[in-house]
Amino acid sequence: MKDFACVAAVCLVATLGVGAVPAQAQTTSSGSDPRLYVDVNFGPTLGHKSDKFVGGEVGLRLVGGLYVIIEASHMGNVATTDLDDRATIIANHISGTASTAFKVNHGAAGLRYNIDVSALVHPYVMGAVGIAQVKTEVEFNVNGTTIDPASRSVQLGGDLSGSLNKTIVVVGFGVNVPFATRFFADLGYRFGQILAKTDNFETDKAIPTQRVVLGVGVRF
């Protein structure tokens, strides 16, 4: 995953370098902000279990640099130490090991504000609230062989299997660099908190997510 992040960062830096010269000819007043933009992005996720994500964002300008946005992503694995601890209890009982994953699909709506700084870079901050579908996957191994816990008279509960829809709150920041007139490169960071849903099981805990955003978009 570190290699993936390094390669992605190098690609983005190269894109920014190419785009810097054309961007010098652009103006930066709020009135010149595009009415609509579409951004596709990817990058590493950070945390207890690092993986990768793919996603996208659409923004419609309300006034000045303020946009209403919709963002969505698929995050490969954002498993927590809490999930590991719960799986370990079962693994110890069957004298084996466990591997864990929280796989997340999310969609959220919110606001983004572009900060008017210069023609070369367009910083922004954003916030959104939405729904995250969290799929819990736990695999148990005994002597190198994957087994079904039911074969050892163990029935997994909702804390170690299945999917749940939960509320997610996302905040983030970043910078856009225009190039080729209508396009821009996007480098940013998103922190998302997937809230606990204790009505399904009392010991449920929040899931923090972190994404390093590397994207390319087009303005209309």
* All domains of the chain in start order, with CATH: 2-219 (2.40.160.20)
User: What's at 185, amino acid-wise?
Assistant: A
φ, ψ (nearest 5 deg) of residue 42: -160, 180
CA–CA separation, 89 and 82 (whole Å): 11
Residue 164 has pLDDT above 90, yes or no: yes
How far apart CA 130 and CA 167 sit, in angstroms, is: 6
CA 164 to chain centre: 18
SS3 assignment, position 42:
strand
Interval 108-146: pLDDT, tens: 999 999 999 888 899 999 999 999 999 999 999 999 999
2-32 per-position pLDDT tens digit: 454 454 444 444 444 444 444 344 433 444 6
pLDDT value of position 82: 96
Taking alpha carbons only, the member of 76, 88, 83 closest to residue 141 is 88
Model confidence at 172: pLDDT above 60 = yes
Nearest to 187 by CA among 198, 169, 175, 195: 175
CB 123 within 8 A of CB 117: yes
pLDDT digits (tens, 9 = 90+) for 148-159: 999 999 999 989
pLDDT at 135: 98
Q: Residue 171: its pLDDT value, please?
A: 98
Residue-level pLDDT at 106: 98
Token pair of 162 as six digits = 């299945």
- Mean of the per-residue pLDDT values of the chain: 88
CB atoms within 10 A of CB 112: 22
Instruction: Answer yes or no: is pLDDT of 47 > 80.
Output: yes
Contacts (Cβ under 8 Å, ≥6 apart) of 179: 15, 18, 19, 20, 22, 23, 185
Mean pLDDT of 27-49: 82
pLDDT at 32: 61
Separation between Cα atoms, residue 121 and residue 38, nearest integer Å: 18
pLDDT of residue 27: 39
Share of the chain above pLDDT 70, in %: 85
Q: Coil, strand, or helix at residue 27?
A: coil
